[in-house]
């Protein structure tokens, strides 16, 4: 079984960068000065990816407030609503208020990812760069929908917008990471889950490598096969928050290219390398095709110092540095 590593989702944003962004948004500093800050902190993400020899990395989403904030850059129509708790975290996002049909925005995402690509080049990291998108199901769950009568229609329109945006990014990124934290959530109806392969079809048909990942507690484990049936090159599962369920997860992994979320990004407690190795061995025994070790979810939830320590643990997994 092939083993590699990835940095997934967001990286903890330095308070200094957040301050610089606030200054920039208030017109107190210019674009050039702001991007200098952005470059410094984005380079830290890529340097970390380089240090662990990661096959894949994101740019840490440092330009954005959060993963929902990214959607406002490429989806035309939604307005920013009130601050809402992001699932059960003490972390808040602006809820998209959807009052008209979704369309593709002439996005500055291409420029943003081009910026990240250039920073990556300067750091000498050789990882594949991933663009990050919120998945259709989670987008629906985290929005306030006024325009659409049924969720399927909204999700399909969103999926089309994501697909077109991915097309724009083709020459800038190597892969896309699509986040579906709502996949196993209690409040989501099963009938929506069964429609996901169809809803994902526009995204699935893009020529870019796709990593669909889910995280947090898997309340409805029976949806695992639905999740794995979404057409993508890799499927990511948060094993760290579902340790009591892993025995039931392993049998589903045969032939799967798995992004194994082994680093819990909602606790400061460091994982034991021996425990990660044990998980790895079990995944291998159950016939997974390939495994990419990673943090399990967004890293906004932990201090940067802990994020760095956790990511560096991956260097010790599987018998040491590779």
Nearest of 125, 133, 135 to residue 57 by alpha carbon: 125
Nearest of 219, 268, 320 to residue 12 by alpha carbon: 268
Nearest of 217, 213, 224 to residue 190 by alpha carbon: 224
Longest dimension (CA), the chain: 57
CB of 84 to another protein, least distance (A): 8
CB of 306 to another protein, least distance (A): 5
Contacts for 250 with CB less than 8 Å, ≥ 6 apart: 282, 283, 285, 286
- Pairwise CA distance, residues 63 & 163, whole Å: 21
Closest to another protein by CB, 80 vs 252, is 80
Q: Residues interacting with another protein, by CB under 8 A?
A: 12-13, 15, 18-19, 21-22, 65-66, 82-83, 85, 88, 90-93, 266-269, 300-306
What is residue 14's DSSP assignment? P
Q: How many CA atoms lie within 13 Å of 24's alpha carbon, on the beta-carbon side?
A: 17
CB of 4 to another protein, least distance (A): 28
Closest to another protein by CB, 179 vs 235, is 179
Percent of the chain that is helix, strand, coil (3-state, to 5): 40, 20, 40
Per-residue CA distances from 289 to 108, 128, 170, 219 (Å): 36, 20, 26, 26
CB of 15 to another protein, least distance (A): 5
Closest to another protein by CB, 21 vs 296, is 21
Token pair of 15, please? Answer: 């308070």
Closest to another protein by CB, 59 vs 157, is 59
Closest to another protein by CB, 48 vs 199, is 48
Closest to another protein by CB, 21 vs 163, is 21
CB of 303 to another protein, least distance (A): 3
CB of 297 to another protein, least distance (A): 14
């Amino acid at each position: 079984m092939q083993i590699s590593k990835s940095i997934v989702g967001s990286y903890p944003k330095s308070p200094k960068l957040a301050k610089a962004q606030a200054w920039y948004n208030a017109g107190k500093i210019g674009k050039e000065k702001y991007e200098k800050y952005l470059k410094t902190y984005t380079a830290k993400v890529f340097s970390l990816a380089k240090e662990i020899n990661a096959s894949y990395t994101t740019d840490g989403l440092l330009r954005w407030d959060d993963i929902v904030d990214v959607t406002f850059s490429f989806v035309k129509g939604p307005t920013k609503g009130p601050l809402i708790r992001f699932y059960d975290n003490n972390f808040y996002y602006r809820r998209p208020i959807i009052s008209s049909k979704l369309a593709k925005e002439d996005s500055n995402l291409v420029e943003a990812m081009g910026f990240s690509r250039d920073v990556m080049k300067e750091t000498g990291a050789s990882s594949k760069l991933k663009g990050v998108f919120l998945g259709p199901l989670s987008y629906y769950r985290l929005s306030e929908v006024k325009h659409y009568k049924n969720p399927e229609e909204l999700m399909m329109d969103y999926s089309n917008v994501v697909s077109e945006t991915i097309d724009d990014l083709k020459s800038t990124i190597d892969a896309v990471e699509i986040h579906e934290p709502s996949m196993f959530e209690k409040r989501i109806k099963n009938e929506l889950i069964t429609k996901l392969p169809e809803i994902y079809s526009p995204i699935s048909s893009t020529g870019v490598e796709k990593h669909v990942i889910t995280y947090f507690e898997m309340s409805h484990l029976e949806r695992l096969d639905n999740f794995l049936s979404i057409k993508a090159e890799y499927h990511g599962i948060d094993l760290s928050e579902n340790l009591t369920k892993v025995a039931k997860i392993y049998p589903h992994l045969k032939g799967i290219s798995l992004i194994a979320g082994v680093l819990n990004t909602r606790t400061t407690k460091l994982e034991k390398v021996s425990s990660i190795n044990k998980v790895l061995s079990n995944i291998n025994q159950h016939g997974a095709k390939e495994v990419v070790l990673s943090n399990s979810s967004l890293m906004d939830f932990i201090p940067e110092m802990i994020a760095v320590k956790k990511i560096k643990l991956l260097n010790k997994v599987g018998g040491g540095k590779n």
